[in-house]
Structure 1
């Protein structure tokens, strides 16, 4: 409601000189000429300038919504209608002098005002406002003071009506009057003592008989009189003699006036009831009886009465003397008062008055200031000074409760300010939602962190001032909505711009349309989604930074010291978990907790006055609230990142519904994995916490990819092994480049294609750190597969455990299949080999040795990425052991082959000419041939060990044969022949490369031989 200008009195229209009727316009609403009838103006006052409080109506038509002619506590509906008609619709004098009055009658849903002619002759407020009339009296004071119910009347009548100072006070004894005691009556007692003695002596002179007669006769008379009086008084009911007799008591009243008798009596001819007359006569008789006895009692004491009358004149003289003394005393007191007391008292009075005037002036200034509270609050709110407005409301409430308590004009201001505070709370929330929504939904191309940052600061400070910490939830919820809208918009744009997708012709959901995108289009869409999400996350980061700075100010803390300690403690659990993972995983993807972008400075650079914020701002929140709010901000940022990941998971699940992701090639899936891993890492760097949902979804897809990846290679390896003829294969240049790169870098990785020299001819051996390996083609493919598994785990580190398990399965498959095909002679049937030759065995052994050579590289490559290192690495160690056992088995097989050949020749040998014998010739020939086969395949140390075992076996066989032939070392012809064969054997073995020192002496064949 608009307020009335202070320079216009709202009741100036009551002036008799006014040109137009007062009901023509409303001074408060400034509506002139808007009312054609008095009824319209009366309706307007009831609808817009009247309030109902309880069952009373309060008129608000006046300055500051206060009507000067109606009680503030309100009146009834009828009195309100009369008040409007008398004081507002018509001039007061016209209304009282018989003019037209108004009576409001209820008609349906509205009111109808009908004019009535009033004959009341009451004084005019305008003409007689300075003259007191009988109508100004509100109560008859004599009637109140002479109230017969004085005993029941409240004792605080004067206090309630005229104030606390108007109360009964005990009269204190005057310090100027002496205290009366027994000594003041000694003169009087001495004066009457002689007369009293004469009186007492005269009584003693009477004879005892006279006294007895007098007493007897007097007693008789007294007894007779008492009996007569008692008989008369017995006629009066005892109820009238009770000390608590009161007709106000219903039981007493019914006992005195028996209404049942009155009702049952029949009226006489004149219509009067006889019982009433009888009752009246009976009561009159009781009254007469009592009055007679009272008169007798008075007559008996007439002597004392006349004695008092004779003393009256003497008392009058004494009174006159006393009055003259009192008059003289008063004259002296007045003289003293005029001379000594009045001036000093006047000074004290003036000083007290001045003090009161100063207090009144200050109080009026305070009232004037409080009156400007609401306009000032509106001004502060218009400039987003929420804290200033709230502080002003709080201060005003304190002033109203302490310094302006009891001011009648401010009785509603406290509740109005409380309602205004609630409105400010709603404004803060609405403005925050509007601001956050506008900031988060700005175009993606707008890279500005925050626009109009000061408004956010003011809103958050205002909410902190009100202990409202829901701004964290508001930012989080709006961020969720913005992320959802951004992802949806990105998908729509990708579908709309796709060349081979007719979005208009497709009937289905957006997910169905998205599934029609090819890999390139879908990857571009996914990259765009990730970019847009990161833009939203950056904006949430900006909110996080600004709000945290505001919280620091509200808590009275600085950026240095306490806040840093808090942030460290808030991330303590995360850091401990990360350190534990680093201890187990080695070089894993580190996550550095960070609350802001690199190079992103705090956005809060405003100095705040009351309502803005400042470093010296009063502390608004407690330490516990500060800690809880900062933790909530941290959780909010993590929740936004987690929600973004969840939305991306839904996007991937929708695209993978038709097996799209499972059909990707290795390079395509690796590219997808890198994009997702980069996005997840960036989000983790921003929020400072590891996210699992998107990684988990990628891991599920990676597991399917790894299954297909492994099945393809396992099937390929099985097919190659089934077709392997176990012959030495040439080594292409790309394989040599691969092992050289591995040896140089220490990591399992494939060389870049542009670095491979395709002009190089294939080599006979593959060289690893200078050591030659003769291998079959299958092991080269297996070695490349091993590198591919290692590169796969680099691209999909989350699936490291699963990938290593598949690689171990692949190595086991190669080992077992090699054993079946070579040692088990399975290749004879599969590829049609005639026999498993020594070279086949040697090549198989050498291939196994090459694989074992790279098992430590695999171990080092996978170790940083495994979460269960001990168990998985133990499996790798077991693989190495299985391969070495297989190599030993092949070595044993080679030795067994040679042992069988030498045994077949030795058992036919005899010490006969010619020398060297054909048996020794054949043995040496087979050993030479065996040496030629394995020397170029197996390493020299292994060849040496094999020949040592073969030689030892040959010596044992020869010794056994000599015992069988009963040839002893007796220096005879047979001994010479044996020695000739042995020398031939020694010379032949010593001519073989790498086994020259195998022969330690053949004289051991004669061990345990006795000369005959």
Structure 2
């Protein structure tokens, strides 16, 4: 009979105990030999009772009873050892702890491989380490070493276990204490549970019946309300179909929205209604498509499938409001009205382009401007014309279209060569003015119908949106959802702005197309007379005003083109006027001409700060010198002064009148006129200066004059003087039309005035130089004439002074009928001042010693003064010369 397993374990532990004594291993005192049998009875190890066979389910349940046998076997020795534990640090009978520790074998000699976690001798590498294949004889030695190493490890482990045995028993002690506490707590919990169960049965269950019934009643009421909502949702479906059949889209959308709101909130999770939500969404999408289509058809006035009619139909505002309002409100509720407006804008633009293209082609064909080949060529020519019309109306340049297929002849069946039809833009350019106005009237009339429809659409949408906003305000006052109403109001304002932008875009497109057609005629219109150009301009301005009245905002495309048109017209007018004026001044003979009475009317209007009212045809006759049947005059009265005129001066006056008429009829070119008119005046000044003062008129290729006489100078001065008098009045007329911000342009008129004044002063100086030159020639023999002589016994006026006086009188006689009194006075003031200084110098240079000479000087001065006084030029003639004569002594 062998030992039980616990006993074997004890013996193995004793055999391998690293401690030096048995008593130390069992923790017995050194005086064990003095103990009695009774003392050792408690130390006898009883074999562990056999455990009954247990089922797998029982093994899984661990209770306190499972540890009862262990506690009984260990409890008494443990309690005894605890009570009789030796003092820490004491030594046992075999030499103490220190000696046993010292006897513990070291693990330094054990290979590292033995301490690895994956140590397995069955692995080939590990086995080869302990039994190398090349040393088969060393296998036994290695096995002995392995056994030794294992013993060392085991002894080390036993040493560690014996060292930590105190901690083990302390753990057992704490475990026993905790077991007692757990048992006590378990018993308390069991008692509490029993008491709580009794209280629940006696007090709680009976009291909970009433709240349970209340909750059940509330749940039943909620279920009833849900069922009523489900019933209401189901009942709305036939109503939605009826509203759709009646065309009441807002009402149908109202029911759909309320039903979807219930399905998303109150009836969320009701699986029986899941298909209903999808059906409502599909119905809503169908309504949206139907309303979009109906909105476009009602707004445009025709079926989209059939296309736009040849001529647009006038829209009735009341009918459009009635039919468009529910559709707009429905789309507004869906928040998709902006998409419908975008599609409407695109379709309106498309209709405008197609209408202008079609009407332009039809009207040009109706006016017979395009050549129409016959027979087989007709079809090819018509096709070419149609393609050209499409390209022209779509903005393709005429030059590109002509280069495409308009420059080469086409060969049709039969070998006959036919010249292709003219392109639309070429036909438009070659139209007469009446024909062009008829074509534009035929295009503008249906175009305005289309634009009025667009304006009526915008008005109807504004009314519908205003009604929607009023409804939103009312519902908000009644306690509606404020945030949703604010969002709806913001969206309505956004849609209204988009509607206004749609109308603006359509009107801008109409302006662009009109401007494009007008641009083709720019070169033709710049050559028109002013009245005809103004007529074309006024038609375009009326179109701009009508469109702006519909749109409510200005459109700039056509206005910009009209401005360019007017500028080009004025540039062409100025270029032609400058060319003609330069040519006339070049051949001007500087002779006085008769002045038609119309020029006096022109001058009278300018003096009154008014634009002359003379008809352009009459003005043209004046410019062409074709006014033989008109009453004439010799002078022009300007501010009380009479001016003689030459042909170039009258031409310039008629041109100035034409410029001012352009200013009055085309007020957009006011700044342009303010620049061109001074330039024209300066051109006359420059050419007149070259021809008269610089003697350009004496060239054979020019006027061919033999000389530049005082008469020529006087008439040139008269022309300059007339315009100098008129310039302040011309400037005042310009200032009335030039904007305040552009008044600085009027400084050019001041510059022209300064040029004219300087030019006239140079002409006056020329008169002085002519007389001064003659005077110097005459006084060369003055000393000889005044010297004493046997032939002359009495003093008398010298012939030199008589010649000087004759020159003055002749010059006065020449200039008096030509110059104004002011000009004449200015000229002779300078002449007399120059003569006073020149004659004084001449007399002072004489030998005044002889009495006869002094008497002759006095006689000459008296003669000069007397004769010049007769001309009534200035009150005090030759003052310095008179002083000199008075200072002379006439006696010895």
Interval containing the TM-score (normalised by the shorter chain): 0.5 to 0.7
Aligned to 1:925: 806
SS of the equivalent of 2:591 reads coil
SS of the equivalent of 2:633 reads coil
Q: Provide the C-alpha distance between the structure 1 equivalents of 2:580 and 2:867, rounded to a whole number of angstroms.
A: 46
Aligned to 1:168: none
Aligned to 1:515: 426
Q: Provide the C-alpha distance between the structure 2 equivalents of 1:653 and 1:852, rounded to a whole number of angstroms.
A: 40
Matches within 5 A, 1:631-650: 631-650=497-516
Aligned to 1:835: 707
440, 465, 479: which one aligns with 2:333: 465
Deviations 1:110-142 (A, max 9, x none): xxxxxxxxxxxxxxxxxxxxxxxxxxxxxxxxx
In structure 2, runs of 5+ residues without a counterpart are 1-35, 63-197, 393-422, 477-481, 787-791
Residues 894 and 379 of structure 1: CA distance in aligned 2, closer, same or farther (over 3 Å): farther
Q: Provide the C-alpha distance between the structure 2 equivalents of 1:400 and 1:632, rounded to a whole number of angstroms.
A: 34
The Cα of 1:705 is off from its aligned counterpart by 3.5
Q: Provide the C-alpha distance between the structure 2 equivalents of 1:439 and 1:859, rounded to a whole number of angstroms.
A: 58
481, 497, 521: which one aligns with 2:350: 481
SS of the equivalent of 2:797 reads coil
Aligned to 1:418: 281
Q: Aligned pair 1:818/2:685, yes or no?
A: no
Q: Aligned pair 1:887/2:760, yes or no?
A: yes
Residues 213 and 881 of structure 1: CA distance in aligned 2, closer, same or farther (over 3 Å): closer
Q: Provide the C-alpha distance between the structure 2 equivalents of 1:398 and 1:703, rounded to a whole number of angstroms.
A: 65
CA contact (8 A) 1:955 1:1004 kept: no
The Cα of 1:817 is off from its aligned counterpart by 0.8
The Cα of 1:802 is off from its aligned counterpart by 4.1
Matches within 5 A, 1:776-795: 776-795=646-665
The Cα of 1:748 is off from its aligned counterpart by 5.0
Q: Provide the C-alpha distance between the structure 1 equivalents of 2:324 and 2:61, rounded to a whole number of angstroms.
A: 82
950, 954, 959: which one aligns with 2:835: 954
The Cα of 1:497 is off from its aligned counterpart by 1.8
Residues 817 and 483 of structure 1: CA distance in aligned 2, closer, same or farther (over 3 Å): same
CA contact (8 A) 2:609 2:730 kept: no
The Cα of 1:444 is off from its aligned counterpart by 4.7
The Cα of 1:660 is off from its aligned counterpart by 4.2
CA contact (8 A) 1:732 1:761 kept: yes
Q: Aligned pair 1:736/2:600, yes or no?
A: yes
Matches within 5 A, 1:292-691: 364-438=227-301, 443-444=311-312, 446=314, 448-449=316-317, 451-468=319-336, 469-502=338-371, 505=378, 506=381, 507-508=384-385, 509-510=388-389, 511=392, 512-513=423-424, 515-516=426-427, 517-556=431-470, 619=485, 621=487, 624-654=490-520, 660-661=524-525, 664-691=528-555
Matches within 5 A, 1:273-288: none
CA contact (8 A) 1:741 1:751 kept: no
SS of the equivalent of 1:515 reads helix
The Cα of 1:1010 is off from its aligned counterpart by 9.1
Aligned to 1:807: 677
561, 568, 578: which one aligns with 1:697: 561
Aligned to 1:990: 869
Paired positions, count: 646
Greater CA drift, 875-884 or 1000-1009: 1000-1009
CA contact (8 A) 2:361 2:424 kept: no
Aligned to 2:722: 850
- Bigger proportion of residues as helix: 2
749, 771, 783: which one aligns with 1:898: 771
Q: Aligned pair 1:979/2:848, yes or no?
A: no
Residues 449 and 976 of structure 1: CA distance in aligned 2, closer, same or farther (over 3 Å): farther
Q: Provide the C-alpha distance between the structure 1 equivalents of 2:795 and 2:691, rounded to a whole number of angstroms.
A: 44
Greater CA drift, 541-550 or 956-965: 541-550
Deviations 1:440-474 (A, max 9, x none): 96745636446332222222222222223234423
SS of the equivalent of 1:767 reads strand
The Cα of 1:694 is off from its aligned counterpart by 2.5
Q: Provide the C-alpha distance between the structure 2 equivalents of 1:625 and 1:212, rounded to a whole number of angstroms.
A: 105
CA contact (8 A) 1:989 1:999 kept: no
Greater CA drift, 908-917 or 713-722: 908-917
The Cα of 1:647 is off from its aligned counterpart by 1.5
The Cα of 1:781 is off from its aligned counterpart by 0.8
The Cα of 1:952 is off from its aligned counterpart by 1.5
SS of the equivalent of 1:936 reads coil
CA contact (8 A) 1:727 1:776 kept: yes
Residues 754 and 682 of structure 1: CA distance in aligned 2, closer, same or farther (over 3 Å): same
Give TM-score, length-normalised by structure 2: 0.63
Aligned to 1:771: 641
SS of the equivalent of 1:470 reads helix
Deviations 1:284-330 (A, max 9, x none): xxxxxxxxxxxxxxxxxxxxxxxxxxxxxxxxxxxxxxxxxx9xxx9
The Cα of 1:537 is off from its aligned counterpart by 2.4
Residues 880 and 533 of structure 1: CA distance in aligned 2, closer, same or farther (over 3 Å): farther
Q: Provide the C-alpha distance between the structure 2 equivalents of 1:374 and 1:998, rounded to a whole number of angstroms.
A: 120
Residues 213 and 718 of structure 1: CA distance in aligned 2, closer, same or farther (over 3 Å): closer
The Cα of 1:892 is off from its aligned counterpart by 1.0
Q: Provide the C-alpha distance between the structure 2 equivalents of 1:518 and 1:945, rounded to a whole number of angstroms.
A: 56
Residues 906 and 751 of structure 1: CA distance in aligned 2, closer, same or farther (over 3 Å): farther
The Cα of 1:700 is off from its aligned counterpart by 4.1
Deviations 1:719-743 (A, max 9, x none): 2112211011100122222222333
Residues 534 and 1000 of structure 1: CA distance in aligned 2, closer, same or farther (over 3 Å): farther
SS of the equivalent of 1:644 reads helix
Residues 897 and 609 of structure 1: CA distance in aligned 2, closer, same or farther (over 3 Å): same
Structural RMSD (CA): 4.5
Aligned to 2:578: 714
The Cα of 1:804 is off from its aligned counterpart by 4.2
Q: Provide the C-alpha distance between the structure 1 equivalents of 2:363 and 2:754, rounded to a whole number of angstroms.
A: 54
SS of the equivalent of 2:611 reads coil
Q: Provide the C-alpha distance between the structure 1 equivalents of 2:472 and 2:424, rounded to a whole number of angstroms.
A: 53
The Cα of 1:926 is off from its aligned counterpart by 1.8
CA contact (8 A) 1:903 1:954 kept: no
CA contact (8 A) 1:742 1:748 kept: yes
SS of the equivalent of 1:835 reads coil
Q: Provide the C-alpha distance between the structure 2 equivalents of 1:216 and 1:822, rounded to a whole number of angstroms.
A: 162
Deviations 1:670-713 (A, max 9, x none): 33223223323443454354433323334444444334322322
CA contact (8 A) 1:776 1:847 kept: yes
CA contact (8 A) 1:920 1:981 kept: yes
Aligned to 1:915: 796
Q: Provide the C-alpha distance between the structure 2 equivalents of 1:638 and 1:1007, rounded to a whole number of angstroms.
A: 92
CA contact (8 A) 1:457 1:547 kept: yes
CA contact (8 A) 2:250 2:326 kept: yes
Deviations 1:772-821 (A, max 9, x none): 11110111111111121222344444444444444333222211110011
CA contact (8 A) 1:464 1:621 kept: no
Greater CA drift, 530-539 or 842-851: 530-539
Q: Provide the C-alpha distance between the structure 2 equivalents of 1:956 and 1:216, rounded to a whole number of angstroms.
A: 171
Deviations 1:130-181 (A, max 9, x none): xxxxxxxxxxxxxxxxxxxxxxxxxxxxxxxxxxxxxxxxxxxxxxxxxxxx
Q: Provide the C-alpha distance between the structure 1 equivalents of 2:842 and 2:709, rounded to a whole number of angstroms.
A: 28
Deviations 1:802-851 (A, max 9, x none): 44444333222211110011001111222232221112111111111222
SS of the equivalent of 1:750 reads coil
Aligned to 1:1003: 882
SS of the equivalent of 2:558 reads helix
